[in-house]
Structure 1
Amino acid sequence: MPRLFVALEISRDAALRLSMLKGGLPCARWIDQENYHITLRFIGDVDARFADEAVAALDRIEAPAFEVQLAGLDAFGSRKPHSIYAGVSPNPALEALQGDVDRALRRIGLAPDPKKFTPHVTLARLRQPKSEEVARYLSGRGDFRSEPFRASRFVLFSSKDSVGGGPYLVEEAFELMPERGASSGGGTIRESIAAAWR
């Protein structure tokens, strides 16, 4: 059963810059460049009926495209760091889109997310890290900043990997634009998820 989540994709230029931050941390398991993303809402393991309902709910969201800029590196897990991530500059349009996505999915029965939304791109997961090594890595790269890039769509990703980190597959894409029509397509989720389950 695929695991679903909603996210923004990262531009190629930003992903390339992020990939250049790899190395210098022995405890890190680095995320592949093609799997970088900004999670908007985790859905989890669901059946095909709920997946179809999720696509229909997400397809009704109308929101404008906007600029995104990545800024700064940090770690999740203060006393025992477990992952390294790139942050996102404050962005009201991103916050608004995330709220729309969250409300749309809760309306069809998804449980509220207990975690506060912290937009980020996960770069590495850490195995038995030494806090001083993580601090040293971050101190040398904390001024990271990408060029702004345009978020013109958000996507529904799936993953079969229970560990995390990819590979991720785009199941559906939802265009962001002021004049967005009533439908951006949403009829292929049955086929793609059915294929993933076979």
Structure 2
Amino acid sequence: MIRLFAGLPVPDDIADRLEPLMTGLEGARWRDRSHFHVTLGFFGDMIEPVAAELDIAIGEIEAPQFDLSIEGVGWFGRKEPSSVFATVKRTPELDVLARECRRTADRLGIEPDAKPFKPHITLAYLNNSPLQAAMAWSERWQVLRAGPWTADRFHLFESISRPGKKSVYEPVADYPLG
């Protein structure tokens, strides 16, 4: 079984802008910059023949290149924060690409994540972080603006679990945009 998701890579200069935010939050397990991405669709665990079908089908998605930017930060988990993130500004092109990735998976019988699409870059997962701490961190960094950068490709990533360690995200397929 392999665990897959589609995502946009984050360029080094944007990762450089995000790293200074990774401090001052109780209970945060900060992500390595190599994990920075914008998830387009999470597909979960599947057997390799199904993954190969997904790769082919996603490779047929036609979408233009488009610009992305970061506008502020936020957290998931209204009363019990579970993660903090940099907010990626929504664009029609980004929404269409995410929708097509999810529709493609659905057509293959792969149930994509049911959560609504919210473009973001996860910076940390939280463990018992008080709501007030997440709110203070978010207020401190809400002024963050970064970009724009051009999305010229997206990847199919494999999430590889390692016992006792953080997961590793490996791009297993690359799809050009434009």
* C-alpha contact (below 8 Å) 1:158/1:170 kept by paired residues: yes
Q: How many residues align?
A: 177
Measured in 2, the distance between the counterparts of 1:174 and 1:56 equals: 10
Kindly state the Cα deviation for residue 112 of structure 1 after the two structures are TM-superposed.
Answer: 4.8
**What are the residue-to-residue correspondences of 1:142-153 with 2, within 5 Å?**
142-153=142-153
1:174 to 2:175 alignment: yes
Question: Which residue of structure 2 lines up, in the alignment, with residue 183 of structure 1?
Answer: none
- 1:136 is matched with which residue? 136
TM-score scaled to structure 1, two decimals? 0.85
Could you tell me whether the CA contact under 8 Å between 2:82 and 2:125 is conserved in 1?
Answer: yes
Instruction: Tell me the TM-score normalized by structure 2.
Output: 0.94
Indicate if the aligned counterparts of 2:65 and 2:153 stay in contact, CA closer than 8 A.
yes
Q: Could you tell me whether the CA contact under 8 Å between 1:35 and 1:165 is conserved in 2?
A: no
1:95 to partner: Cα distance = 0.3
Where structure 2 has 5 or more consecutive residues not aligned to the other structure, the ranges are none
Runs of 4 or more, structure 1, over 6 Å off, are none
Measure the CA separation in 2 of the matches of 1:164 and 1:156.
22
Distance across 1 between alignment mates of 2:129 and 2:177: 39
Q: Post-superposition shift, 1:84? A: 0.2
Gaps of 5+ in 1: 178-198
- Greater C-alpha radius of gyration: 1
- Equivalence map 1:1-198=2 (5 Å): 1-161=1-161, 166-177=167-178
- How far apart are the structure 2 equivalents of 1:106 and 1:136? 39
Coordinate RMSD, CA, aligned? 1.6
| SS of alignment partner, residue 68 of structure 1 | strand
- Deviation string for 1:105-162 (max 9, x for gaps)? 1111112532111111000011111121121111111111112001000100002227
Q: What is the rounded CA distance, in whole Å, between the counterparts of 2:166 and 2:65 in structure 1?
A: 26
What amino acid sits opposite 1:75 in the alignment? Answer: W
**Equivalent residue, structure 2, for 1:185:** none
Which secondary structure does the structure 1 equivalent of 2:145 belong to? Answer: coil
Q: 1:8 & 1:89 partners in 2: Cα distance? A: 14
Name the structure with the higher strand share: 2
Report % sequence identity. 36
**C-alpha distance in structure 2 between counterparts of 1:3 and 1:111, whole Å:** 13
